[in-house]
């Protein structure tokens, strides 16, 4: 029992070790960029998508930030929502639209790994992942277009302190720190630190609780059971043994799956199409087991109800699109 408790807290610590520092660093960078007005100057990037989705300017700012730090972007959205600057529907649509910037943001870690293990085939696979992210973003942008009615006289806009878009760009309501109001960079630094701590503390508390619960589920074997169940019930699929081996490996370690795919292609055991199909199917299977990492992330940011809802919608959408790509590749 003592060993179980010790290992439980150690696993929780490992979750927090990789999530809390990233959250704080990301929030500090985000608040600094906001304070220096960098995000507002680059907001045209996010505006391209938010105009399609009928989303307000605030969502464009968050989507732009997502290209730098998706987690900080989500925190910004939550802050806007709590301050009644965006509705819950706008919060959901904006959060679900970050698939494209989220995958693109990881190019610096994914591209070298994929190229080292698979060569140019790895680059092709990366662009397929980016395309899946882009399609996901566009789908939710279209859903926003169909469900969000743009009306400057609606109740949401009446509750805003200022309806002028130029004021949002120049001041970002209460969240932006105008450089004109700061006497020097020392005060700016102090303000950024204060805002980072103020916004992060409630999220850290929730992340701790979610990490502990997730760690408990891991220690009692829930996720291992799911993994083993999947392994024993996918043999009926029309994939070769080599492909299924790659896919199952991807559930445990993605880099190992990339290496295996590259080796099997080099030895002519499978072709390029089969390798990509296997990795895509592996990403589908990984979506099931990687929930152990998604739960602390989503619940920590959005709370239990909204966090689970957003996690489920985001994961299922990505899985369906990936299966669509697998079907197309299978036909080829």
Confidence at residue 235, expressed as pLDDT on a 0 to 100 scale: 66
pLDDT tens per residue across span 140-171: 999 999 998 765 444 444 444 444 444 444 44
Question: How many CA within 13 A on the CB side of residue 237?
Answer: 23
Give the contacts of 243 (CB within 8 A, at least 6 positions apart). 270, 274, 275, 277, 278, 281
Q: Is the pLDDT of residue 102 over 90?
A: no
- Average of per-residue pLDDT across 28-42: 69
pLDDT tens per residue across span 239-254: 888 888 888 888 877 8
Q: Helices 291-302 and 304-331 meet at what angle, rounded to 10?
A: 140
Alpha helices in the chain (DSSP H): 2-35, 38-41, 44-52, 57-66, 70-82, 88-96, 99-105, 107-118, 120-147, 155-158, 165-171, 185-219, 222-231, 241-252, 254-266, 272-289, 291-302, 304-331
Joined tokens for residue 134: 């882009």
- Between 281 and 204, residue with greater pLDDT: 281
Q: Is the pLDDT of residue 42 over 70?
A: no
Q: Give the confidence band of 310 by pLDDT, cuts at 50, 70, 90.
A: very high
Q: Give the confidence band of 276 by pLDDT, cuts at 50, 70, 90.
A: very high
- Between 163 and 33, residue with greater pLDDT: 33
Give the contacts of 95 (CB within 8 A, at least 6 positions apart). 74, 77, 302, 310, 314
Among 72, 5, 23, which residue's Cα sits nearest to residue 208? 23
State the burial class of residue 327 (Cβ atoms within 10 Å of its Cβ: 0-12, 13-18, 19+): exposed
Joined tokens for residue 197: 């701590």
What percentage of the chain reaches a pLDDT higher than 90? 20
Q: What are the CA-CA distances from residue 132 to residues 69, 128, 224, 283 (Å)?
A: 19, 6, 28, 12
Q: What angle do CA 111, 117, 120 make, to 5 degrees?
A: 60
User: Of 149-158, 226-235, 282-291, which gets the smallest average pLDDT?
Assistant: 149-158
Place of tokens 């024993």: 232
State the burial class of residue 37 (Cβ atoms within 10 Å of its Cβ: 0-12, 13-18, 19+): middle
Among 160, 161, 182, which residue's Cα sits nearest to residue 31? 182
């Amino acid at each position: 029992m003592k060993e179980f408790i010790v290992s439980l807290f150690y696993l929780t610590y490992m979750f927090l070790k990789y999530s809390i520092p990233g959250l704080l660093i990301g929030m500090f960078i985000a608040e600094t960029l906001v304070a220096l007005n960098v995000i507002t100057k680059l907001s045209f990037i996010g505006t391209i998508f938010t105009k399609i989705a009928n989303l307000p300017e605030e969502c464009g700012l968050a989507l732009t930030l997502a290209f730098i730090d998706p987690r900080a972007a989500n925190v910004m959205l939550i802050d806007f929502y709590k301050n009644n600057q965006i509705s819950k529907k706008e919060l959901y649509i904006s959060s679900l639209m970050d698939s494209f910037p989220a995958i693109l943001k990881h190019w610096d870690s994914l591209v070298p790994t994929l190229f080292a293990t698979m060569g140019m085939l790895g680059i092709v696979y990366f662009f397929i992942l980016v395309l899946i992210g882009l399609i996901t973003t566009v789908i939710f942008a279209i859903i926003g277009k169909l469900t969000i009615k743009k009306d400057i006289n609606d109740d949401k806009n009446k509750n805003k302190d200022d309806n002028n878009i130029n004021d949002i760009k120049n001041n970002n309501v209460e969240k932006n720190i105008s450089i004109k109001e700061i006497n020097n960079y020392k005060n700016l630094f102090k303000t950024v630190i204060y805002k980072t701590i103020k916004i992060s503390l409630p999220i850290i508390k929730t992340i701790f609780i979610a990490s502990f619960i997730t760690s408990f589920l891991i220690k009692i074997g829930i996720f291992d059971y799911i993994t083993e169940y999947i392994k024993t019930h996918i043999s009926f699929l029309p994939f070769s043994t080599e492909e299924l081996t790659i896919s199952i490996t991807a559930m445990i370690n993605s880099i190992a799956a990339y290496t295996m795919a590259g080796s099997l292609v080099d030895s002519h055991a499978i072709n390029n199409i089969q390798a990509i199909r296997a990795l895509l199917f592996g990403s589908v299977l990984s979506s099931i087991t990687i929930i152990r990492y998604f739960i602390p992330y989503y619940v920590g940011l959005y709370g239990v109800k909204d966090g689970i809802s957003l996690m489920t919608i985001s994961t299922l959408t990505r899985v369906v699109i990936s299966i669509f790509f697998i079907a197309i590749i299978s036909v080829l």
